[in-house]
Amino acid sequence: ICKLVIDGNFPMACGLFVYAGATDMADGYIARNFKNQASSLGSFLDPLSDKILVGKTTISFSSTL
- Per residue of the chain (65 residues), give pLDDT as tens: 999 999 999 999 999 999 999 999 999 899 889 988 888 888 899 999 999 999 999 999 898 77
Give me the pLDDT at residue 31, please. 87
Which class for 43: exposed (0-12), middle (13-18), buried (19 or more C-beta within 10 A)? Answer: exposed
Give me the pLDDT at residue 36, please. 86
Q: How many beta carbons lie within 10 A of that of residue 7, not counting itself?
A: 12
Q: DSSP 3-state assignment of 36?
A: coil
Give me the pLDDT at residue 37, please. 85
CA distances from 50 to 5, 7, 8, 35, 61 (A): 17, 22, 22, 23, 17
Q: Is the pTM of this model over 0.85?
A: no
Give me the pLDDT at residue 5, please. 93
